């Protein structure tokens, strides 16, 4: 198939039908063009993520060094450093900024991946439609070229004229389809250019943001290093101040302790002499009370020795009286029995005599019991007097000890 430059029509030959079908079938496979900037975009995003991760690792190392420095200085100067310094605030702000940059990079990469996937879907749909449109063109064109052979030249001329007219119509339809395909390809190219421009703008924005974040991180790192140096200088100065204060305090404490010990030693010596004098006076005053106490103790011992003998004598007398009373009672019982048996008439008279005898005996028993009670009361009074005298002696001793103290 060739196009003449003058007439703008197609000169078709039968032997070139297969070449046209081969050309159409080969043209159905359109290449899928991937934007050249996608690889650059992915590499830039990966580089930005690596730089952010490196900055995060540097910040973590600085935090660890700062914590180790604090732990070393806390044992020596407790309470001199504030709870949360400016370094902590700068580190928190820097980590927050880097996290926002990471989130933005991740969102930009996700948007680019989504756009690229949409473009691939659009290209696949367009390729399918072009395949469907071009699938029917070879069959239609080859059908126009196939004609039945006849013996007459007139019929062949008429069929050639008809074939040429049908070929012209097919060529027109083909030109219209090609023009439509060219318009579609132009729209695809414009969409691709817009997509590449959007990607380029996103890359420029990402590069500016990454450069700004890099500048801000570098400034923050410089500020952080300066603050760390100032903190180290403050720690060294505070350590020296604490050491000097501790030395002054130890000297003052040693001086006060030595003065207090000397004063206490003087007071102990003076109190020792006063105590020896008071003990001498107490020993002189206590000699009379000691002699009195010895006399009271000897009296108590004598009373304790004599009292059991007297009590035993009284118990023996009481036992003898009880035995006598029992004997008389048994005799009276025997006499009563005899009188009841032999003399029933004189029973009342004997009862009176027996009652009088019993009363006399019981009166003797009561007198003995009264004597025992009087003896016990006298012993109790003597023991009470002895206890009262001992209490008086103890009170006087307590008064003397309190006066001496």
Average pLDDT over residues 192-218: 75
Average pLDDT over residues 52-75: 66
Cβ atoms of residues 331 and 375 within 8 Å: no
Say whether both 252 and 296 belong to one domain. Answer: no
Say whether both 257 and 299 belong to one domain. Answer: no
3-class DSSP state of 93: helix
Return the higher-pLDDT residue of 30 and 263.
263
Cβ atoms of residues 228 and 86 within 8 Å: no
Query: pLDDT grade, residue 85 (50/70/90)?
Result: low
pLDDT of residue 181: 75
Which pTM value belongs to this model? 0.30
Query: pLDDT grade, residue 41 (50/70/90)?
Result: low
Would the pLDDT of 185 be above 50? yes
Say whether both 135 and 190 belong to one domain. Answer: yes
Over the stretch 150-168, which tens digit does the pLDDT of each residue have?
444 444 444 554 556 666 7
pLDDT of residue 334: 81
Q: Is residue 3 part of a domain?
A: no
Say whether both 315 and 335 belong to one domain. Answer: yes
Would the pLDDT of 103 be above 70? no
Over the stretch 265-311, which tens digit does the pLDDT of each residue have?
887 787 778 777 777 776 776 777 777 778 878 877 887 787 777 77
Encoding tokens for residue 225? 């290093």
What is the distance between the terminal CA atoms of the chain, rounded to a whole angstrom? 144
C-alpha 400 chain-centroid distance:
66
Q: Is residue 223 part of a domain?
A: yes
Say whether both 221 and 353 belong to one domain. Answer: no
Say whether both 202 and 285 belong to one domain. Answer: no
- CA nearest to 192, candidates 111, 121, 119: 119
Q: Give the domain-ending residue among 233, 262, 291.
A: 262
Radius of gyration of the chain (CA): 69
pLDDT of residue 245: 84
CATH code, domain with 87 = 1.20.1270
Say whether both 166 and 239 belong to one domain. Answer: yes
Query: pLDDT grade, residue 28 (50/70/90)?
Result: very low
Cα separation, 109 vs 208, in Å, equals 15
Per the structure, the complete domain to which residue 70 belongs is given by 12-262
3-class DSSP state of 148: coil
pLDDT of residue 39: 61
Would the pLDDT of 19 be above 60? no
- In the chain, how many domains are there? 2
């Amino acid at each position: 198939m060739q196009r003449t430059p003058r007439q703008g029509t197609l000169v078709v030959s039968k032997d070139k039908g297969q070449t046209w079908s081969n050309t159409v079938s080969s043209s159905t496979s359109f290449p899928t063009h991937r934007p050249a900037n996608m690889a650059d975009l992915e590499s830039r995003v990966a580089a930005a993520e690596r730089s952010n991760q490196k900055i995060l690792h540097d910040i973590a190392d600085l935090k660890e060094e700062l914590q180790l420095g604090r732990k070393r200085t806390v044992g020596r100067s407790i309470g001199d450093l504030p709870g949360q310094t400016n370094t902590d605030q700068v580190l928190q702000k820097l980590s927050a900024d880097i996290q926002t940059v990471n989130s933005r990079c991740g969102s930009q990469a996700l948007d680019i991946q989504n756009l690229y996937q949409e473009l691939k879907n659009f290209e696949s749909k367009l390729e399918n439609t072009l395949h469907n449109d071009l699938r029917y063109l070879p069959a239609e064109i080859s059908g126009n070229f196939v004609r039945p052979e006849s013996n007459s030249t007139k019929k062949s001329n008429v069929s050639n004229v008809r074939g040429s007219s049908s070929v012209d119509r097919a060529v027109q339809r083909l030109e219209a389809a090609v023009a439509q395909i060219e318009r579609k390809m132009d729209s695809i190219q414009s969409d691709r250019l817009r997509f590449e421009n959007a990607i380029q703008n996103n890359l420029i924005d990402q590069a500016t943001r990454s450069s700004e974040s890099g500048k801000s991180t570098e400034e923050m790192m410089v500020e952080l290093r300066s603050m760390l140096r100032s903190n180290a200088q403050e720690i060294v100065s505070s350590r020296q101040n604490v050491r000097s204060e501790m030395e002054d305090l130890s000297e003052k404490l040693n001086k006060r302790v030595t003065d207090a010990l000397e004063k206490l030693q003087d007071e102990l010596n003076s109190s020792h002499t006063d105590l020896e004098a008071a003990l001498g006076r107490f020993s002189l005053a206590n000699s009379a009370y000691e002699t009195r106490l010895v006399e009271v103790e000897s009296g108590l011992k004598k009373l304790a020795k004599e009292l059991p003998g007297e009590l035993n004598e009284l118990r023996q007398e009481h036992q003898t009286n009880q035995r006598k009373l029992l004997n008389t009672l048994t005799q009276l019982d025997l006499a009563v029995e005899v009188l009841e048996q032999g003399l029933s008439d004189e029973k009342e008279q004997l009862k009176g005599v027996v009652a009088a005898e019993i009363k006399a005996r019981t009166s003797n028993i009561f007198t003995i019991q009264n004597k025992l009670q009087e003896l016990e009361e006298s012993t109790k009074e003597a023991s009470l007097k002895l206890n009262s005298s001992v209490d008086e002696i103890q009170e006087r001793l307590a008064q003397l000890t309190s006066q001496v103290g």
